[in-house]
Amino acid sequence: MLKRTSINFVNEILTKNANWNVLDIGCGYRANENASVVADVQDFSDFYKNKNFIKIEEKSLPFKNKEFDFVIASHVIEHVDNFEFFIKELERISNKGYIELPSRLADNLVFENKNDHIWWFTYDDLNNQIIASKRNQLVDPFITVSMAKILEQKFRESLVLELAWEDKIEYKIDNKIRHEDFNTISFFKIVKKYLSKKIRSLIK
């Protein structure tokens, strides 16, 4: 089962269940404070001295079946080439968790995402499933990751998908989505054109 949620609601649940064994996978320097185990492909062991840090070195996750009560995967799946296998691994090591993904808009706005992200995701509310498609750059990026984090504070619902799952993560790959004939939108050209028109109207 997959449904929309919020990280604030998830944190409330985790705080109330402090005895849970919680994994935050692919967290970088931003591990959830409720996580008892932290894992990443990069070595952050020096940074997480007060947590159990595990370095991931293989496609199969180095954990036992149902080892965790809850798994957090925030801004991870869009980076994974074989995300279907990764989802199966999440289901293998736990029976519930939280997934956070950038919206397609947020994905396109950020400079770093252009080379780092492989997949695009939306959420199908009718069928309660993730819709995945290969990433496309439709808007010239113009903000950094740090700037995006600031924008998320005010426009989170437009920039982030927040999903809770239990037992199974339903998803569908949409190979029909194509944007080869779409001309990339330049934010700077739009602003320049608008401002130029605005300035001309003020001068008249």
Ordered domains of the chain (ranges, CATH): 2-203 (3.40.50)
Our CA angle for 44, 45, 47, nearest 5°, is 65
**Which tokens in the block code for residue 120?**
């695009």
Indicate if the pLDDT at residue 203 is higher than 50: no
> pLDDT tens digits, residue range 125-178?
999 999 998 888 777 777 788 888 888 888 888 889 999 999 999 999 987 655
Name the pTM for this structure: 0.84
pLDDT of residue 154: 87
Q: What are phi and psi for residue 130, nearest 5 degrees? A: -80, 135
- What mean pLDDT comes out for the span 18-26? 97
More confident residue, 177 or 104: 104
- What mean pLDDT comes out for the span 110-116? 76
Nearest to 87 by CA among 8, 163, 4, 158: 163
Q: How is residue 183 annotated by DSSP?
A: P
Contact 22, 39 (CB under 8 A): no
Rounded CA-CA distance 79/67 in Å is: 24
More confident residue, 11 or 204: 11
Rounded CA-CA distance 152/142 in Å is: 15
pLDDT of residue 199: 46
Averaged confidence pLDDT in the chain: 87
pLDDT of residue 192: 56
> pLDDT tens digits, residue range 47-81?
999 899 999 999 999 999 999 999 999 999 999 99
Rounded CA-CA distance 184/116 in Å is: 19
Q: How is residue 60 annotated by DSSP?
A: S
Rounded CA-CA distance 127/111 in Å is: 32
Rounded CA-CA distance 146/110 in Å is: 9
Length of the chain: 204
Contact 73, 56 (CB under 8 A): no
pLDDT of residue 140: 78
